[in-house]
Every structure is written in C-alpha cells, then in structure tokens.
Structure 1
Amino acid sequence: MATEHSNESQPKEDQPLPQAESTPVEEDKEQAASHSNEERAAEDFGSRYLRQVTADFADDIEKLRTASDFKESSVPVLIQALKEGAANFTEKEKREMMDQGRGIPSE
C-alpha cells in the first residue's frame, strides 16, 4: 500500500519564495546613513557659507584682523560669529541652495 507524501512544507514551483524582511540592524544602518548624509549636507553648507562670507567681507575682516586691539584669542570668536550666520537659513533653504549649486546668495 503506497502512502502519499505531504508536500505542504515545500514551496510549489509556481509560487514565489517569501522575501526576507529587513532586520533591526539593517534599519539602524539605513537610519545612520541617512543621518550621516544630513550631517554631511549641513557641514557642506556650513563650509560653503563660511567661504562665501569670508570672500564677501574680506575687506572688513582684514580691518578687524589688523586693528590694534585684535588678538590671537579673537580669531575663534570671529570664526564662531561668522559661522552663526548660517543659522539664519531654514533647512529647506539650505537644501535648495545646495541642490541648485548656487552656494550662498551674496548681498
């Protein structure tokens, strides 16, 4: 007497195999990559902004630098003050400027 073997546990040839779901580790990697891309974009904008500002205000910066009361300890304060100007732009404005390759609008 022949018994039939059950093939229920084996996928049928015409059915697709189940797809593996992403693991928490993969999701963490994706979030980390997205976060680092955002950080990189912010750094790129900040660098571009600082280059543009120093170019646009080169004469004024030179006057500050050569003033009799300007000290070496004033350099970090000046740099920080220039960098803080980037905070005047929204994230959307920063992205648009970077995407369009315009850099920073000069006045």
Structure 2
Amino acid sequence: MNQDKTNIITDLNGYLINTQDWNEKIAIKLAQSEGIILNSIHWKIIYFVRMFYQEYSMFPKIQTLINIIATQHNQKKGNSRYLIQLFPKKSVAQQIAKIAGLPKPKKCL
C-alpha cells in the first residue's frame, strides 16, 4: 500500500482503499497523476459514477456514460471516441474509477 502526504491510502495501482477518503482535491491529484486536467464534463462523469456506485455497488456500463454525455452536451460528444479523449490512459472505466475514488471495475473496456 502507498500512503501519500495527505494520508490517503491507495493500493499498489493507485486506487483508494477507502472510498470515503475521496474529495475533489484528491480527484484532482489522481487525475494529474493520470495526465488529465479535469473540466466540467469530467466532473459530471465522476459525480455520476460515484452516485451510481453508491446506489448499485457497481460501476455503470460505458454506454450509460456515453448516453449521459450525449444528453447533457450534444450528440457529437456522445460516443466512445470522445469518452476516450476525456480518459485516454488504460481502460476508460479503470481511469474514471481511479479518479472517482472507487475500486477498480471488475469488467473493463
């Protein structure tokens, strides 16, 4: 386990051990470690994923995230290519989960 200066404990892959430790400052730090500067669309996805996880104890399907982007922003951005531009490293689901302070999803793209 790794412990950083803010006393947030992560596993060896950088996922928070305790999801309750998450806050926006931690998300920004995790995003920066992934080479991402968060914008308003990132935040909407992060908060949606956290809400979904709290309610269903699972990560939403990627198609659900694509539909949210299309509904809230526009159809041109409602596709997997745009989601991959937002979260370009690893799998989209893994990167979103890490930044959102959630466990690594079991099934990933």
Specify the TM-score bucket, using the shorter chain as the normaliser.
under 0.3
Greater gyration radius: 1
Structure with the higher helix share, 1 or 2: 1
TM-score, with normalisation over the residues of structure 1?
A: 0.23
Question: Higher relative CO (CA 8 A, sep ≥ 6), structure 1 or 2?
Answer: 1
